[in-house]
Structure 1
Amino acid sequence: MKIRRALATAVAAAVTAPAVLLSVTPAFADAKPAAQTQDKQSKPTIKDLEKAAAEAKKAYEKAAQAKTDALVVLKETYDALDTTHPLAVAEKAAEQAAKDAAAAKATADQAVTAAKTAVDALPEDATEEQKTAAAAALSEAETTAATAAAAKIAADTKAAEADEAVDDARVAAARAYGVVDRALDDALAAKIAADAALAQAKKEAEEEGEDCEPEHDLTAEVTGLPTKLVAGTTTAFSVRVTNGSDRHMDEVITYAGVHATDKTGLKDTGKFFRLQWSTKSSPKWQDLNEDNYIDGVGALKPGARADVKMRLTLDKATPAGNGVAFIAADFYNEDGSCGGAPGADMYEFDVKAAGSKPGKTEDAKPKPAKTTKPGGNGHTPQGSASATPATNGNLAATGSSSATTSIALAGGAAVVLGAAAVFVVRRRKTGSDA
């Protein structure tokens, strides 16, 4: 995440070019982007869009299952309409009745034809009784044929209606399946739209970033770091991170950076230092990453705290000199919000040559002191005319040698960045990693 690199960059820049940072601090303070709050209120958050995308996915999966189920029902309905469905049974009965009626009509027509033939075959000397009988037979055959014809028409009508009922049932089944099929198409379109909106929002967040807010109640305090370290030794200390706010923090990140010089204050001796960390969730000792951020704290509920074990090893070749440790903490939430300590607390220590006796030592104390909170943040106000003198004054009060001046001034520069300066450059790019 870009935001995770910002504090590390600010501290490194302060160590290497304190005068530049001190001179540009007010400019940073005035560079706050405008209209951030209005944009956040008018646009859905990443979390909102992720929720919408998840719901659209569920709706699509539900619609896909509904289509699968509907296809099974459609096939079963079609099969039944060909065999056991009541409409199919009625259709077959009507078709058989129509066939029987057609056969009966054909028989009746043949009887009429036979009766007419019998009438035509009467001899000239046929008696009246014979003529009357033949005529009666013809009349009866014609009546029977007429009845059979009417029955056939009725049977044909019923057969056609039965066929139409089956066809209508097939159409109704197909239409019902079509509704489910279209619902799947709509669900897919909604899913695509939701995914696209989420992707676009993430892309915009990556391009534009999101301002983090200072959270002074997220603290990181060092215990056990002595004011004197000896080359060739390893020192164990700890950083306690506390969420003193009333908000839940989904991911808390601790910053821990060490910078050192020889006695002249001109030669960087940081290459001789190895700083490692371990947490309850990540018990294996790990070297700090290139940005000096520790990702092993995890989430913190309001009022909760977590300890980070630290191990600082000095190579035997480490020159005598002076060092400072910078400690801070940030948090990041799934909804895109983020924040943390506006600056880094500084802990000073002396470096003794290998084999030296450290003598009387005590735990390093943070500078600036947390008991003084001008502006409510515990750091010297940005742009204050007393910023640099206060830093030098603190050094004098500790009894540190004059050789510490350059590196202490550098550390002071990082702290003087303050809430506005650091948070202007600490911008989170949602969805990206450090």
Structure 2
Amino acid sequence: MKIRPILATAVAAAVTMPALLLSVTPAFADGKPAAQTQDKKQNKPSIAELEKAAAAAKATYDDAVKTESAAREALKALLSDTSPLAVAAKAAETAAAEAATAKLAADQAVIDAQAVLDALPETATEEERAAAETGLTEAKADAQTAKETKAAADAAVVEALDARDDERVAAARKLDQAQKATKAALADKTAADKALAEAKEEGEDGEDCVPEAKLTTVVTGLPSTVVAGTKVDFKLRVTNGTDKTMDEVLPFAYVHATDRSGLKSIDKLVRLQWSSPSSSKWKTVDNEHYMDAISPLKAGAHADIKMRLTIDASAPAGNGVTFVAGDYFNDNGTCGGNPDLEGYEFLIAAAGSKPGKVDDAKPGATKPKGSDVRTQSGSSRAVSGSLAATGSPSAMPQLALASGAAMAMGGGAMFLVRRRRAGSPA
């Protein structure tokens, strides 16, 4: 899994030219991050706060989705012919149609009554003429009533249709508002989830992540001189010297090498590998990834990781340093790590050299080691292969300066820039 890019930058800065190192070191010399970094860190919300915000954003989004779904169903129901106002509008239209038919019949009755009156002969009696006139009058009255009834029915249709359409428009607007609210809630949820994920990846929870000097990473068995064209096996011991179990411990290692001048990198000619507890296959380490997690590392326990350093036969005589560190992350969200990026320095002898018996490489700074630790069952791994027999190193001013700069970045500074949550994708 990937470490934070700033760690890779810090390692790179620790192994570049002395001028750069001298310009970088003072900012970290007191073991504290710069004020700007402190202020930025203090202003950052904690993991717990981000989790609460993400949960709230999710709840708001879930509610918005439910509201949108309900609004959509409501509009669908109102667009149906079976909705109450749709049924009422249909009934009004039916009544208006019947009224229109009745008016046509009434108007025709007036025409017919008028025709009867007009068709009376001159010989018609007064009674016949009076009956015809009464029929016309009644027909006209019925026609007026039918006209008024039709007008009222037509008005009722307009009112019913308006009521139906207004209800549908209101429902459509409500759905539109719900869709916009869902979109906004999703954006908020996405932002909250991203902030939480990034915080978990980087592990920059200022309240929980703390320097832990009792989590130590110690290299043993790495010769102080390695001959080009050979490979040496050694081990990295990760120790939990605290009185609490660390749910997940992530070791980190990186190798850097230069020629004798200390100015020309020969990193391409050196390779540092490790093998995981679950696989005997050797994996190459780099300055971007942690090694496999140790889960868990109990209080007072240690775990040994098999390491292998290979120097290409074409490598010139020069200097090398292996940096190691370790972070931990607990299930409850707390995290931390040993505060120093520790460097073990070694000389690179030209191919074919026979330096004789040499001591093990030593760290650039002496750290107190606890004596009350025990091997964790199932996690201690024996060193395989044979160690190279080489000689004691002479002074390495250029590489020592690089290593010293990395040490100066310790005391909490490296810890602050190295945090990254366990479980992050590689």
- Give your verdict on TM over 0.5: yes
Relative distance call for 1:186 and 1:341 in structure 2 (3 A) is same
AA aligned opposite 1:168: A
Number of residues paired by the alignment?
A: 387
Counterpart contact for 2:71–2:171, Cα < 8 Å: no
Counterpart contact for 2:50–2:196, Cα < 8 Å: yes
| Equivalent position of 1:172 in the other structure | 167
Counterpart contact for 1:115–1:137, Cα < 8 Å: yes
Pairs within 5 Å for 1:5-404: 5-9=8-12, 11-12=14-15, 26=29, 29=32, 31-33=34-36, 34-36=38-40, 38-40=42-44, 73=77, 76-77=79-80, 86-87=87-88, 89-117=90-118, 121-123=121-123, 130-189=125-184, 191=186, 213-222=210-219, 224-226=221-223, 229-239=226-236, 241=238, 252=250, 254-259=252-257, 272-279=269-276, 285-289=282-286, 292-297=287-292, 303=298, 309-316=306-313, 324-330=321-327, 340-347=337-344, 354=351, 368-371=366-369, 401=392, 403-404=394-395
Q: Percent identity?
A: 32
Match of 2:394, SS state, is: helix
In the aligned structure 2, how far is the partner of 1:328 from the partner of 1:314? 22
* 1:415 aligns to 2:407 (yes or no): yes
Counterpart contact for 2:226–2:347, Cα < 8 Å: yes
Relative distance call for 1:27 and 1:241 in structure 2 (3 A) is closer
Work out which of the two has the higher radius of gyration on C-alpha atoms and give 1 or 2.
1
Relative distance call for 1:118 and 1:401 in structure 2 (3 A) is closer
| Equivalent position of 1:3 in the other structure | 6
More helix by share: 1
Match of 1:368, SS state, is: coil
In the aligned structure 1, how far is the partner of 2:23 from the partner of 2:88? 91
In the aligned structure 2, how far is the partner of 1:299 from the partner of 1:67? 51
In the aligned structure 1, how far is the partner of 2:279 from the partner of 2:23? 38
Relative distance call for 1:57 and 1:237 in structure 2 (3 A) is farther
In the aligned structure 1, how far is the partner of 2:7 from the partner of 2:329? 10
In the aligned structure 2, how far is the partner of 1:357 from the partner of 1:23? 40
Relative distance call for 1:210 and 1:102 in structure 2 (3 A) is same
Q: CA deviation at 1:161?
A: 1.5
Q: CA deviation at 1:265?
A: 9.4
Counterpart contact for 2:71–2:174, Cα < 8 Å: no
AA aligned opposite 1:101: A
Q: CA deviation at 1:170?
A: 2.3
Q: CA deviation at 1:135?
A: 1.1
Deviation per residue, 1:244-282 (Å, 9 max, x gap): 666766x946132344776x9999876653223454689
Match of 2:273, SS state, is: strand
**Structure 2 length as normaliser, TM-score?**
0.64
Deviation per residue, 1:49-81 (Å, 9 max, x gap): 76677677767776776676666556x43x679
Q: CA deviation at 1:177?
A: 1.4
Match of 1:295, SS state, is: coil
Q: Where does structure 1 lack aligned partners over 5 or more consecutive residues?
A: 204-208, 374-399
Q: CA deviation at 1:176?
A: 0.8
In the aligned structure 2, how far is the partner of 1:287 from the partner of 1:275? 6
Q: Where does structure 2 lack aligned partners over 5 or more consecutive residues?
A: 199-203, 372-390
In the aligned structure 2, how far is the partner of 1:420 from the partner of 1:134? 122
Relative distance call for 1:167 and 1:312 in structure 2 (3 A) is same
| Equivalent position of 1:381 in the other structure | none
Counterpart contact for 1:236–1:309, Cα < 8 Å: yes
